[in-house]
Amino acid sequence: MATGKNSKQVPENLKKQLALAIRNIQWNYAIFWSISAEKPGVLSWGDGYYNGDIKTRKTVQAAELNTDQLGLQRSDQLRELFESLSAGETNQQAKRPTAALSPEDLTDAEWYFLVCMSFAFSIGQGLPGKTFAENRTIWLCNAHLADTKVFSRSLLSKSACIRTVVCFPHLGGVIELGATDLVSHFQVSKIGCSMFLVIK
């Protein structure tokens, strides 16, 4: 089992499952929100996978990485950058690995994914919290235009061009998927089948 910074344990292979599912449906990101270990009744970042555009690629390996490895590596690099920025380190360059990202390396969509790591939702609040409380899937089209009372990250999603967000309960938490395309909830059967076959 692996743990996010403030979350209860999440399955070790969850990131790989999220990666496979999100690539199959060609969406931009997947996030697993789990109950916080420090604050019961609050959903916080458990794990995630980024599948969107990349501005600057940095690797430490000389060998070519396949698509799976590149996506997993980028998700890990974004998490490391978030932790570095959160810690407020004064000498980040000396402490970060050679392939570490800096803020200027990121696209708007990567910034969106990174900033999501700082969010937490009380049960019943926000899209993930409401999904958890009601134990049902919530599909939000035009997320970038939504009222912040409905989707607190709507302004962020506008800069990242995130147009569709779907949340559904899973493993005692919530999985959130996001896409830059406008995807109607009528396409849910295709997406649902892909997701649930991969994430069990």
**7: pLDDT confidence band, cut at 50, 70 and 90?**
low
As beta bridge partners, residue 167 has 138, 176
Query: Which residues lie closer than 8 Å to 21 by C-beta, 6 or more apart?
Result: 30, 194, 195, 198, 199
Predicted confidence at residue 199, as pLDDT, reads 52
Q: Which two tokens stand for residue 185?
A: 């909830």
Rounded Cα distance, 143 and 157, in Å: 7
Residue 123 gets the label, from left (phi > 0), alpha (psi -120 to 50) or beta, of beta
The tokens 């402490």 sit on which residue?
95
Q: Tens of pLDDT along 112-162?
A: 999 999 999 999 999 999 999 999 999 999 999 999 988 999 999 999 999
Query: Is pLDDT at 57 greater than 50 in this prediction?
Result: yes
Domain boundaries, the chain: 2-198
Query: Is pLDDT at 98 greater than 70 in this prediction?
Result: no
User: Which helix (DSSP H) or strand (DSSP E) does residue 94 occupy?
Assistant: helix 92-95
pTM of the model: 0.79
Of residues 95 and 28, more confidence is placed in 28
Predicted confidence at residue 72, as pLDDT, reads 78
Q: What is the CATH number of domain 2-198?
A: 3.30.450.40
Q: How many CB atoms lie within 10 A of CB 15?
A: 22
Rounded to 5°, angle at Cα 57 from 19 and 118: 60
